[in-house]
Amino acid sequence: MFTLSMSGITLNLTFNAPNYDESQQKGKDKAKYKRFIRKRNLLEQKGLLKKKQNANNCQKGAYRNKQWHEKNKQKKDSQTCAGYHKSSTSQEELSTNPCSYPQAQHENSVSRTVKESTVPSSSESQRQSSSADVAEWLHLQATSAGNPLKYIALDCEMVGTGPKGHCSELARCSIVSYDGDVIYDKFIKPVNAVTDFRTRWSGVRWQDLRNATPFRQAQREILKILSGNVVVGHAIQNDLKVLHYSHPAFLIRDTSRIPILNRKAGLPEKQVASLKKLTKILFNKDIQVEKKGHSSVEDAKATMELYKVVQVEWERILASKPGS
């Protein structure tokens, strides 16, 4: 408190004024608004306030209330913006391990793209009527050039590592196109020392791995090809396991688990038939008969041919399932 006297006039000046409290002001505004509502309701009960006037006041009040909320929202967004950008930039680097990739996000984004393009309407009746068109569209996807969604067939050969060769590691990988053209075919050097080449089945010999591609390099090359495409395989989970990779389930076509394929071959629908057996029955063709072992290129081509036998019917079934 500072007192100043001049010609009989005394001025009392206070420098320690209380700080402006925004919350108090908001409380006053809120109380004022409540009083206004009570008065308006009272006038309505007495019949002194016309309905049209009441509606106009409500609209004006709602508009002012909306403006106030938008202003506060902009203020909050400006305060949190800097912190958000700092936290997001710290997550830009991805792990080199394929198992640590954000698969859920990838699956959701690709799934959303396929669903939007294959099912033009959200109604159940329209979706069922278009299931045949979906199958035809998927067939065109596989054969049309330049389309981002392609059908490829994968087959891997494994060797044994560790005690008595019990651990399986990738030693050869082959990928073929829808038409059977070889996209990728390389011998791959396992991370650990090979203790069993399993040549009778894998067809891999020690000289094949002498100058083979290191696993990490081959893994990057293979996953780049598989990403975003429909992958056809026979018991494909075994191939994906040695790649240390999890492909989106809706982009996998496993010929060992397609009931209508077994039905065409005259086998029980739930039976997991071998690739060799299905190929012999449906095409009268012998594979995996050479003494030097299997060929992953031959197996991948056979797998794609088996899938083509039931492609349209199988894709129609998948498209008609709830959530497809």
Alpha carbon distances (Å) from 238 to 129, 198, 322: 36, 16, 28
pLDDT band at 160 (very low <50, low <70, confident <90, very high): very high
- Does position 7 have pLDDT exceeding 70, yes or no? no
pLDDT band at 293 (very low <50, low <70, confident <90, very high): confident
- Does position 86 have pLDDT exceeding 60, yes or no? no
In the predicted model, what is the mean pLDDT of residues 9-31? 60
Q: Which has the higher per-residue pLDDT, 314 or 11?
A: 314
Question: Which stretch, 22-31, 73-82, 228-237, 312-321, has highest mean pLDDT?
Answer: 228-237
- Does position 19 have pLDDT exceeding 90, yes or no? no
> Whole-number mean pLDDT of the chain?
75
Give the H or E element holding residue 176.
strand 167-176
Q: For the ranges 99-113, 214-228, 245-259, which has the lowest average pLDDT?
A: 99-113
Q: Which amino acid is residue 104, in one-letter code?
A: A
Q: Tell me, what's the pLDDT at 108? A: 44
pLDDT band at 75 (very low <50, low <70, confident <90, very high): low
Instruction: Return the percentage of the chain with pLDDT > 90, whole number.
Output: 49
The angle formed by the CA atoms of residues 120, 124 and 129, to the nearest 5 degrees, is: 65
Q: How far from chain centre, in Å, is Cα 171? A: 29
Alpha carbon distances (Å) from 36 to 28, 57, 62, 128: 12, 11, 13, 56
pLDDT band at 176 (very low <50, low <70, confident <90, very high): very high
Q: Tell me, what's the pLDDT at 63? A: 56
In the predicted model, what is the mean pLDDT of residues 168-187? 97
Q: Tell me, what's the pLDDT at 183? A: 96
User: What is the tally of helices (H) and strands (E) in the chain?
Assistant: 11, 9
Q: Tell me, what's the pLDDT at 29? A: 72
Q: Tell me, what's the pLDDT at 133? A: 58
- Does position 220 have pLDDT exceeding 90, yes or no? yes
- Does position 119 have pLDDT exceeding 50, yes or no? no
Q: For the ranges 118-122, 128-132, 231-235, 314-318, which has the lowest average pLDDT?
A: 118-122
CATH superfamily, domain at 106-320: Ribonuclease H-like superfamily/Ribonuclease H (3.30.420.10)
- Does position 21 have pLDDT exceeding 70, yes or no? no
Q: Tell me, what's the pLDDT at 322? A: 75
pLDDT band at 37 (very low <50, low <70, confident <90, very high): confident
What is the spatial distance between Cα 324 and Cα 119, in angstroms, rounded to a whole number? 9
Question: Which stretch, 94-103, 116-125, 137-146, 261-270, has highest mean pLDDT?
Answer: 261-270
Q: Which amino acid is residue 39, in one-letter code?
A: K
What is the spatial distance between Cα 190 and Cα 119, in angstroms, rounded to a whole number? 43
Domain boundaries defined on the chain: 19-75, 106-320
The angle formed by the CA atoms of residues 153, 120 and 255, to the nearest 5 degrees, is: 20
Alpha carbon distances (Å) from 161 to 133, 164, 195, 283: 48, 7, 5, 36
Q: Tell me, what's the pLDDT at 265? A: 95
Q: Which has the higher per-residue pLDDT, 274 or 110?
A: 274
pLDDT band at 105 (very low <50, low <70, confident <90, very high): very low
